[in-house]
């Protein structure tokens, strides 16, 4: 398959204009290595029809689970058809970064609306235009907060992949992370933080945390604000209709993974990192930012702004090297949030909360225990099984569910599983899964 439109007549006319007889002459100046390449290209081209068949064959080798109880950083939520349709508009899909505002108002306004949605979600003053994913958003927030030195405190309740990315980002500038342990209640140890307030530059926690537990984010915020330590909250956007906003908790920065806002699981990407901050950090903010201004007739115009922070102007002194970000994902999130609206955000949060608690009840009846039974959780939680009961080991449970076409929770150890429920999980699905685990659904 080729996508080049040239006819032989076109090529002849073009070559004639150039005064040459073959395209190869244009490559005459290229220095090619004397020894022949070790490996040839060796890729046989296919027709469009054959290509489609070949990719469909690959896709068919993956197992699509209709029922999913796995989260741990990537979440299956309902994606309204209108979201997909709007985000598939070729004028959004096939545009480049909006460098020419006069002909890109649609994209710029969409990003401005996204930024507005994120500030409303988080309660903070400003959002950038998007980040590569939630983990890189958290990492760059840390870099912004900790630039002047001091300890970087990161809760062990933050998703381990997010911590790993923060550590990698910090390694460039020779910095490391100090991990805040979790208490027996599965919550960030606030006493540990208290003891380190004088040397800390910033503190990052996750709300709810990786194990689903709801952190005392406001108490922590009071402590950190009082000590002048930068406070970063890494939040699950679907919880923000129910749980206190980062602003209400006193956070300086909010970061998070925006995938749940209308993006499919997609084996990990493309996803959407969001980052929002208080006013005083705006001129240090990483990435693209869209702002409103006017033209000479006073009409409102949206533009990429505060570019003095950015790589194409500041080069090595830029606040980040971000050029392409995740604009189409940001647009998708804005459409999603506008589609569900103020009430929808609260409803979906309440549904996640209620379904997860119903699942937790069912699993307990099936013989599992909650690891943190006295701690409130949002839509994820950890179960433990009796090590003596092999039938209820994490591996056996997952295998039995798999045979029924159900994707169970994340295996944390031989006896521990991290479960997730969203508004998509029905009572019947949950009952069915619990029956399979208890054995009443037949042991496979």
Partner 1 sequence: MSLIFEKSVDGRRGVTFSALDVPKYTLPPDAEYLRQSPAVLPEVSELDLVRHYDGLSSKAYGVDSGFYPLGSCTMKYNPKLCEDTAALDGFCQIHPLQGGLSAQGCLEAAYLLTEYLGRITGMDCGTLQPAAGAHGEFTSLLMIKAYFKSIGQNRTKIIVPDSAHGTNPASAAMAGFEVVNIPSDCDGFVDIDALDAAMDGGVAAFMLTNPNTLGLFEKNISKIAGIVHGRGGILYYDGANLNAVMGISRPGDLGFDIMHINLHKTFATPHGGGGPGAGPVLCKEFLGGFLPRPTVVKDKNGRYSLKDGVRGGKSIGKTRAFFGNFLVCIKALTYITALGAEGITDAARKAVLNANYMRALTSEFLPVGSGACMHEFVASCEELKRDSGVSALDVAKALIDCKMHPPTIYFPLIVHEAMMFEPTETESKQTIDAAVAALKQIIETAKTNPESIKSAPVSTPVGRPDEVKAARKPVLRF
Burial class (CB within 10 angstroms; exposed 0-12, middle 13-18, buried 19+) of 71: buried
DSSP 442: -
Question: Going by C-beta distance under 8 Å and a sequence separation of 6 or more, which residues neighbour residue 104?
Answer: 95, 98
Region from 171-179, 193-201, 226-234, 435-443 binding partner 1, contact rule CB under 8 A: 171-179
- State the minimum distance, in angstroms, from the CB of residue 291 to partner 1: 5
CA distance 207 to 361: 22
Return the number of the residue (97 or 438) whose C-beta is nearest partner 1. 97
Segment interacting with partner 1 (CB under 8 A) among 144-152, 223-231, 263-271, 432-440: 263-271
Q: Which two tokens stand for residue 370?
A: 């909650």
* 165 neighbors 135 (Cβ within 8 angstroms): yes
List all residues 6 or more positions away from 59 whose beta carbon is below 8 Å from its beta carbon. Answer: none
Asked whether position 176 contacts partner 1 by CB under 8 A, the answer is: no
Which is nearer to partner 1, 386 or 427 (by Cβ)? 427
**65/192 with CB nearer partner 1:** 65
Nearest to 423 by CA among 242, 211, 215: 242
Q: Which of 165, 229, 275, 417 binds partner 1 (CB under 8 A)?
A: 165
21 contacts partner 1 (rule: CB under 8 A): no
Three-state DSSP class for 301? strand
Return the axis-axis angle of helices 134-146 and 160-172, rounded to nearest 10°: 50
Size of the site for partner 1 (CB under 8 A): 208
Which residues, 191 to 230, sit near partner 1 by CB under 8 A? 207, 214-219
Please tell me the distance from the alpha carbon of residue 140 to that of residue 155, in angstroms, as a whole number.
16
Nearest CB to partner 1, comparing residues 70 and 392: 70
Which of 190, 197, 227, 306 binds partner 1 (CB under 8 A)? It is 306
Minimum CB separation of residue 17 from partner 1 in Å reads 5
Q: Is 333 in the site for partner 1 (CB under 8 A)?
A: no
Nearest one of 273, 303, 271, 268 to 289, comparing CA atoms: 303
What span, in angstroms and rounded, lies between the C-alpha atoms of 6 and 15?
A: 12
Choose which of 21, 226, 350, 387 interacts with partner 1 (CB under 8 A): 350
Choosing from 148, 149, 280, 297, the residue that interacts with partner 1 (CB under 8 A) is: 297
User: Does residue 396 belong to the site contacting partner 1 (CB under 8 A)?
Assistant: no
Find the binder of partner 1 among 204, 227, 254, 344 (CB under 8 A).
Answer: 344
Residue recorded with tokens 């602003």? 247
Among 185, 194, 195, 313, interactor with partner 1 by CB under 8 A: 313
When the beta carbons of 9 and 388 are compared against partner 1, the nearer one is: 9
Mark the segment that binds partner 1 (CB under 8 A) among 97-105, 188-196, 364-372, 381-389. 97-105
The span from the CA of 302 to the CA of 11, in Å, is 42
Tell me which stretch binds partner 1 (CB under 8 A): 72-80, 196-204, 225-233, 364-372: 72-80
CB of 152 to partner 1, least distance (A): 15
Taking CA 287 as the corner, what is the angle to CA 348 and CA 285, rounded to the nearest 5 degrees?
Answer: 90
Residue 432 neighbours by CB under 8 Å, 6+ apart: 67, 404, 406, 441
> For residues 229-258, which are near partner 1 according to CB under 8 A?
240-245, 248-249, 257
What is the nearest approach in angstroms of partner 1 to the Cβ of residue 111?
Answer: 8
Q: How many CB atoms within 10 Å of residue 291?
A: 15
Burial of 162 (C-beta count, 10 Å sphere; 0-12/13-18/19+) = buried
- The H-or-E segment that residue 404 falls in is none
Residue pointed to by tokens 């991290």: 418
Residue with smaller CB distance to partner 1, 198 or 296: 296
What are φ and ψ of residue 157, in 5° steps? -85, 5
Instruction: Give the nearest distance from C-beta 41 to partner 1 in angstroms.
Output: 4
Return the number of the residue (90 or 148) whose C-beta is nearest partner 1: 90
Q: What is the sign, positive or negative, of the torsion defined by CA atoms of 66, 69, 70, 75?
A: positive
Contacts (CB under 8 A) with partner 1, residues 28-47: 28-33, 35, 37-47
In terms of CB distance, is 198 or 312 closer to partner 1?
312
Q: Does 130 contact partner 1 by CB under 8 A?
A: yes
Region of 88-96, 150-158, 226-234, 384-392 interacting with partner 1 (CB under 8 A):
88-96
CB 142 within 8 A of CB 152: yes
Q: Whose Cβ is closer to partner 1: residue 17's or residue 388's?
A: 17
Please provide the size of the chain in residues: 444
Smallest distance from partner 1 to CB 388, Å: 26
């Amino acid at each position: 398959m080729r996508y080049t439109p040239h006819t032989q007549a076109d090529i002849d006319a073009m070559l004639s204009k150039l005064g040459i007889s073959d395209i190869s002459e244009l490559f005459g100046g290229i220095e090619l290595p004397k020894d022949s390449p070790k490996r040839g290209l060796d890729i046989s081209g296919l027709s469009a029809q054959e290509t489609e068949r070949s990719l469909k064959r690959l896709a068919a080798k993956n197992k699509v689970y209709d029922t999913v109880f796995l989260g741990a950083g990537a979440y299956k939520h309902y994606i309204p058809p209108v979201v997909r349709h709007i985000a598939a508009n070729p004028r959004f899909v096939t545009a480049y970064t909006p460098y020419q505002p006069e002909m890109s108002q649609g994209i710029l306004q969409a990003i401005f609306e996204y930024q507005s949605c994120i500030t409303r979600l988080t309660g903070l003053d400003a959002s950038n235009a998007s980040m590569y994913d939630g983990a890189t958003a958290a990492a760059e927030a840390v870099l912004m907060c900790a630039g002047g030195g001091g300890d970087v405190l990161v809760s062990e309740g933050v998703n381990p992949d997010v911590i790993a990315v923060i550590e990698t980002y910090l390694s460039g500038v020779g910095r490391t992370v100090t991990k805040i342990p979790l208490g027996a209640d599965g919550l960030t140890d606030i006493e540990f933080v208290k003891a380190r307030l004088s040397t800390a530059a910033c503190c990052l926690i996750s709300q709810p945390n990786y194990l689903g537990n709801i952190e005392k984010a406001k108490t922590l915020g009071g402590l950190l604000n009082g000590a002048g330590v930068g406070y970063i909250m890494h939040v699950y956007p679907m919880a923000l209709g129910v749980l206190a906003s980062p602003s209400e908790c006193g956070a300086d920065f909010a970061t998070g993974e925006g995938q749940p806002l209308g993006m499919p699981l997609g084996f990990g990407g493309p996803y959407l990192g969001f980052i929002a901050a208080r006013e005083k950090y705006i001129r240090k903010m990483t990435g693209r930012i869209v702002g409103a201004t006017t033209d000479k007739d006073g009409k409102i115009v949206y533009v990429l702004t505060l570019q003095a922070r950015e790589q194409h102007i500041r080069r090595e002194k830029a606040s980040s090297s971000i050029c392409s970000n995740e604009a189409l994902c940001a647009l998708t999130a804005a459409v999603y949030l506008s589609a569900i609206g103020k009430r929808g955000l609260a409803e979906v949060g309440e549904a996640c909360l209620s379904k997860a608690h119903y699942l937790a009840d069912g699993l307990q009846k099936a013989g599992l225990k909650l690891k943190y039974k006295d701690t409130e959780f949002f839509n994820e939680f950890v179960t433990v099984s009796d090590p003596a009961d092999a039938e209820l080991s994490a591996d056996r449970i997952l295998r039995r569910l798999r045979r029924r076409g159900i994707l169970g929770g994340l295996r944390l150890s031989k006896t521990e599983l991290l479960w997730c429920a969203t508004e998509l999980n029905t009572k019947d699905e949950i009952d069915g899964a619990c029956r399979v685990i208890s054995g009443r659904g037949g042991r496979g």
